[in-house]
Amino acid sequence: MKLTSLLFLCLIGLFGCAEHEVQHVLLFTELDYSNQEQVIETWTNDRLIQTSKVDLNVEIIPPVYERLIMEIAAHNGDLLIIDTTLLTSTILDPEGLVPLDEIVNQNQVTEHFTAFHKIENKDYVYGIQLITEDLIPSIRETKEWVALVPIYANDVNQSKQLLATWLE
């Protein structure tokens, strides 16, 4: 009887945890320590981003191409934000990314972040440009990033919603 009760309590605990999701954001950029702390604090405390069901987990990683490839191969990150200098045709591969056409407006579309999808025979937007002064005005150092949603993201819609919030 005690074993059954213990298993039941464990199951209740597991189901309670399942309701609360974590959105993993990997930011590949070079920022000094104080700016890194500011990015993490700003994004993780933003009430527009954080909801009762989603916590934002931000990890800042140096902008090294090999590390980016390693994280993608390991299927890490629900949202990848990378320095534009790391963007190559290998990274902007339509087979590994989610199209973002529905959340981007025409002013934000650039051909640098679009790619041709061979199966659908159509160009799609796979990356959205983000600039530090738009996201975190207190950071004086202007950085240009591109946001990508990998197809392996735990919740693609949540990743798109997060990007849409930043673009408002």
What is the pLDDT at residue 53? 63
pLDDT per position as a tens digit, 54-104: 678 889 899 999 999 999 999 999 999 999 999 998 898 888 999 998 887
pLDDT digit string, tens, across residues 142-160: 788 899 999 999 999 989 9
**What is the CATH code of the structural domain delimited by 19-167?**
3.40.190.10
Give the predicted TM-score (pTM) of the model: 0.79
Query: What is the number of helices (H) and of strands (E) in the chain?
Result: 5, 7
Domains of the chain, residue spans:
19-167
Q: Which residues contact 80 (CB under 8 A, 6 or more apart)?
A: 26, 28, 68, 71, 72, 147, 148, 149, 150
CA distances to 79, 115, 137, 148, 155 from 27, rounded to whole Å, are 8, 22, 17, 11, 18
In this structure, what token pair is assigned to residue 82?
Answer: 């990378």
Beta-sheet strands, E only, within the chain: 21-28, 54-61, 79-83, 114-117, 122-125, 128-131, 144-148
